[in-house]
Amino acid sequence: MSTEDTNRKGAGLNGLARKLVTGWAILGGVVLIAVVIMQSISVVTGAFGHPLPGDFELTELGIAVAMFAFLPYCQMTDANVTADIFTSGASRRVLGVLGVLASVIALAFSVIMVWRTWAGMENQFDYGYQTAILGLSIGYAFLPIIVSLILLALASIMTLIESFRQTVQPSGKVYS
């Protein structure tokens, strides 16, 4: 990797965005670990007739939040599911064009999802939807999901720029 590649990936706004997306994914991992620990405790205490009340509710909310927290990182690191068998013989320019197309689709998806998830969150609060056992407002789980979708849009813009560079200058290094 050249100095220019390192500077492009790790400096300025790009570097800040990468750190933000990575940190958010790590927080998603912490939420996931917390859900696993809570479920483990619930299984053990349930064996003695005292399961944790609301463990299924917290699992549903926690897994949703964690899953969305990983999406921006998957986009940024090009770790989404792909069908490489169809592109294994493609030129770097073709791969760049496909990368641009995929990034545009991911960006459109994330923008639409922010819009609709925000509307869904408003409905959750307007109608006072709560979990059945713990009485937690479901709308609060939408907040970190919306942040994840905004970060997905940011990661999509980053990969769009990188793919465009690969398309325009296909002899250069591919940025991950």
pLDDT-derived band of residue 169, with 50, 70 and 90 as boundaries? confident
Question: Residue 138: which of 71, 41, 68, 65 has the closest Cα?
Answer: 65
Tell me what the pLDDT averaged over the chain comes to: 90
Question: Residue 23: which of 121, 172, 144 has the closest Cα?
Answer: 144
Question: Residue 58: which of 142, 134, 125, 147 has the closest Cα?
Answer: 134
Residue, of 142 and 96, whose pLDDT is higher? 142
- Exposure on the CB side of residue 43, measured as CA atoms within 13 A: 7
Q: Flag whether 176 is in a domain.
A: no
Q: What is the mean pLDDT of residues 66-73?
A: 98
Q: Which residues contact residue 80 at a Cβ distance below 8 angstroms, ignoring those fewer than 6 apart?
A: 74, 102
Q: Flag whether 174 is in a domain.
A: no
Taking CA atoms, 42 is separated from 47, 53, 66, 122, 145, in Å, by 8, 8, 20, 32, 25
Question: Residue 9: which of 161, 147, 164 has the closest Cα?
Answer: 161
Element spanning 146, H or E: helix 139-168
The pair phi, psi for residue 50, each rounded to 5°, is -135, 65
Q: Flag whether 175 is in a domain.
A: no
Taking CA atoms, 104 is separated from 75, 89, 96, 138, 153, in Å, by 12, 23, 12, 31, 10
CA 132 from chain centre, in angstroms, equals: 28
Q: Flag whether 173 is in a domain.
A: no
- The pLDDT assigned to 35 comes to 98
Four-CA torsion 74, 154, 152, 61, nearest 10 degrees: 120
Whole domain around residue 158: which residue ranges? 3-168
Q: How far is it, in rounded angstroms, from Cα 160 to Cα 45? A: 49
Looking at the structure of the chain, the number of domains it has is 1
Of 48-52, 77-81, 129-133, 157-161, give the lowest mean pLDDT range.
Answer: 77-81
- The pLDDT assigned to 81 comes to 77
- The total of other beta-carbon atoms located within 10 Å of residue 53's CB is 11
Q: Flag whether 150 is in a domain.
A: yes
